[in-house]
Amino acid sequence: MTMPLATVRPIGFFYNSAMWSTDADISAMSMDEFVSALGDQKIAFSTAENGWVSALFLTALVAEEDGGVEWLKSGTETKITDFNQPCFINAVAKLQNLLQNNAASNSVGAAYADAANAFMSEQAAIIANGPWMSSDFESSNSDKWSNGFDGAKVRASLFPGDIGIADTATFGEWWISASAPEDEIALAKAFLEFIYSPAELEAYMLAEGGDTPKLTYSDDFKAKQGETQVLADLAADTTTDTVFVPRILDVIPASVANTEFGKLLPSLADGTCTPEQFAQWMSDKAAEASAE
């Protein structure tokens, strides 16, 4: 027994408006327009661990390609193992361009913490991450900042093409077996009723960000949400036209996502690996994982 997700927390990206900003609606841009507007400003990427930040940008790049949204969504039920697809190869080519021309200086070999540090030390103007990162920009966490970084200057946007990264095909976060004792099922129902109450949903969104489409927000919530600029930005960007896609790391075999994906990213950055080679390498690793 479970309930559908009540809240969607689409992942976009944060940008330091003291370093880079535009009057244009970023989410309404194409990715090419965004890259052009970005110029030589730097993006905080990561290649170590699971290449989290790079994977988020790659997801958005794939989603903007013809057939990319459908390809990503196809992996929600059956993991993707064939990466020799135009939407993936074209997206990798664009990621390679970003790694070569717009990556923060510490990106190769960077874990997520290194990428976050690059952003919060003004070594990069942009970092992709979920709305939960908003707390890092509060003055109470200024011990994470350096080089004049000011969390109050951070803004947020969904990705160009009005892409929000979120797996809306999943069940809710909480479940209980239908065969559980009646008293436990009763407790579970009471718990779900509590956490899905308007007050709790609003408290959750103020802490973690996100949007609850079926909830009529209270005036107090809207006022408090507006106090956190990045959450207000993401909420304004999330509309009925927003295209939600799952993270690429969630639709490929776990071993490929967790350990293999990031291994070849440095070779993309230095040009010793082509997008086509990257796609074949991913396909080979996925085939090995599926055979185990």
> In sequence order, which ranges of 141-197 are alpha helices (DSSP H)?
182-195
Q: Identify the pLDDT of residue 57.
A: 97
Q: CB burial class (10 A; 0-12, 13-18, 19+) of residue 208?
A: middle
Residues 146/47, Cβ–Cβ less than 8 Å: no
Residue among 283, 286, 273 at smallest CA distance from 93: 273
| Cα 129 to the center of its chain, rounded Å | 5
- Residue 150 makes CB contacts below 8 A (sequence gap 6+) with 18
The encoded tokens of residue 110 equal 């960077």
Q: What pLDDT, on the 0 to 100 scale, is given for residue 7?
A: 78
Would you give the distance in Å from CA 115 to the centre of its chain?
Answer: 14
Q: What does the CA dihedral 148, 224, 27, 247 come to, rounded to 10 degrees?
A: 90
Do 14 and 126 meet the contact criterion of CB atoms below 8 Å apart? yes
Per-residue pLDDT of the chain (292 residues; tens, 9 = 90+): 667 777 778 899 999 999 999 999 999 999 999 999 999 999 999 999 999 999 999 999 999 999 999 999 999 989 999 999 999 999 999 999 999 999 999 999 999 999 999 999 999 999 999 998 999 999 999 999 999 999 999 999 999 999 999 977 665 677 788 889 999 989 988 998 898 899 999 998 888 777 887 888 899 988 888 788 998 899 889 888 999 999 999 999 999 999 899 998 999 999 999 999 999 999 999 999 887 6
Give the Cα separation of 55 and 247 in Å (integer): 8
Q: What is the pLDDT of residue 279?
A: 97
Q: Go through the domains of the chain in sequence order and give each one's CATH number.
A: 9-167+243-287 (3.40.190.10), 172-237 (no CATH)
